[in-house]
Structure 1
Amino acid sequence: MPHGTIWWVRIRGKANKADVMVGVCYTPANQDEEADEIFYKHLGEVSQSLALVLMWDFNLPDVCWKYNAAERKQSRRFLERVEDKFLAQLVRETMRKGDPLDLFVNREGFVRNVMVGDHLGHSDHKMIEFPIL
């Protein structure tokens, strides 16, 4: 039963600013449906109460962000969950091997000026930079 990896970091807001939850996740291309559902459950819990920034390598190459469509069942289910949680995709540029790195937020306007940088060391992944406002 292949499972992905996710790390959550809570950034405490100063003074009257809200906390922000940052998630970084990797999902193998052959992850099973049970593992997906566990993640979606956690995502639902986190996205309800906190400002959320989620960076993810989903390995869903059939997702077309322009038309919000996908060929495979797993990818369509992912798109439905993203829509259910009101997550906005912020990166459209290809990050590696033709796939975008998915960068989502659940609150409009608190992440801006997303910049795609160079590769980090010998990795085939590119870096992204953005301020959290």
Structure 2
Amino acid sequence: MGMDEEPIKSLWVRIKGRAGIGDTIVEVSYRPPNQEDRADEDLYRQIGAASCSQALVLMGDLNHPDICWKDNTAGHKQSRRFLECIDDNFLLQVIEYPTSRGAMLDLVLTNKEGLVENVKLKNSLGCSDHEMVEFQMLRTVRRVHSKLTTLDFRRADFGLSGICLVRVRLVMIL
């Protein structure tokens, strides 16, 4: 972290895998509800760098209560930017139910379908207003047969696609 960057309240852990299995990166964050855009962007850069890892699990209280996970929409600019980060890094949100007073503040995100399973909400621990989240993290990712196709545009040649689009537009105009 540079001297001019704000500190981010997060813990990053690398769980070493056995030979052939690979490591898993786990990040736990607390994002204050009034966090500055600059600190959010610093966190998003870290998430982007970590999303290139073989297996990634991000979790924490990220304080975006206005996000509708069913529609993938949000009312506030900061929450929309968070959704962009999730989409840009091909992360899946695996918690399906509200965790704090009817709001989905606590999230578990992963870049590998099937890495996190059996997500359950338990009673709150102590005097916390958040429910405890329990899940299994698998050492080897099971092959999940998904009907969804995920495209990885990181290696796309956007210059070439722009030329193709111009040619298509010219053909359509003529």
TM-score range, shorter chain: over 0.9
Match of 1:85 among 83, 89, 97: 89
For 2:119, the equivalent position in structure 1 comes to 114
Name the structure where strand makes up a greater proportion of residues.
Answer: 1
Q: How does 1:1-133 map to 2 (within 5 A)?
A: 4-100=8-104, 101-133=106-138
Number of residues of Structure 1 aligned to a counterpart in Structure 2: 133
- CA distance in 1 between partners of 2:35 and 2:99 (Å): 21
For structure 2, the residue ranges without an aligned partner over 5 or more in a row are 139-174
Runs of 4+ in 1 over 3 A off after TM superposition: 1-4
| Matched AA of 1:6 | S
TM-score of the superposed pair, with normalisation by structure 1: 0.93
Identity rate, percent: 47
Cα distance, 1:43 vs. partner?
Answer: 0.6
TM-score normalised to the size of structure 2? 0.72
1:45 deviation in Å?
Answer: 0.6
Does the 8 A contact of 1:3 with 1:31 survive in 2?
no
Shift in Å, 1:4: 4.5
Contact kept, 8 Å, 2:8 with 2:43, in 1: the verdict is: no
Match of 2:169 in 1: none
Preserved contact between residue 19 and residue 51 of structure 1 (Cα < 8 Å)? yes
Tell which has more relative contact order, 1 or 2 (C-alpha 8 A, sep 6+). Answer: 1
Q: Is the 8 A contact 2:23 2:55 kept in 1?
A: yes
Could you tell me whether the CA contact under 8 Å between 1:2 and 1:30 is conserved in 2? no
* The structure with more radius of gyration: 2
Q: Write the distance in 1 (CA, Å) between the matches of 2:54 and 2:27.
A: 12
Is the helix fraction higher in 1 or 2?
Answer: 2
